[in-house]
Amino acid sequence: MPDSAGILLHRQHHGALQVLLVHPGGPFWRRKDFGAWSIPKGEVEEGEDPLAAARREFREETGARAEGPALALGSIRMKSGKVVRAWAVAGDFDPDRLTSVTFDLEWPRGSGRTQVFPEVDRAAWFTLDEAHRRILPAQAPLLDSLVAALG
């Protein structure tokens, strides 16, 4: 199973630390909210630098670039067994400008009809407390790593 890499974009807003999380698109996630959000992330291609992959995935899932210095946040293991390496990048992004790549899926299952869904259907800024409620449980340690990395 290939590793994944992602970017946790963060900013100071009205004196509070906020992080950008994305909500997965598609019918399986449509009605899920708490415990469903994620950092923008995706698979590292063979021979690809993991940080470069994280920046590429951020761009593919949001339509924006995550430029600037990156703080390593370490890695976590998802429920599926996949390992995700993450970096924190300071920046800003308007969630209303979200544009995501898409994927094809037979839906409804067994119907023979293929539909196109965005990989990410929403993005939003959250305070750390709210992010802890929204993020996939396996990714929650990345929020704590961010706080430790920022001192």
pLDDT 10s digits, 19-69: 999 999 999 999 999 999 999 999 999 999 999 999 999 999 999 999 999
What's the pLDDT at 151? Answer: 86
Rounded Cα distance, 78 and 137, in Å:
9
- In the predicted model, what is the mean pLDDT of the chain? 96
Residue 16, domain CATH: 3.90.79.10
What is the average pLDDT across 124-146? 98
What's the pLDDT at 1? Answer: 67
Q: Which among 66, 17, 18 is positioned nearest to 42, based on CA atoms?
A: 66
pLDDT 10s digits, 108-118: 999 999 999 99
Structural domain total, the chain: 1
Q: Which domain holds residue 34?
A: 4-150
Q: Which pTM does this prediction carry?
A: 0.95
What's the pLDDT at 52? Answer: 98
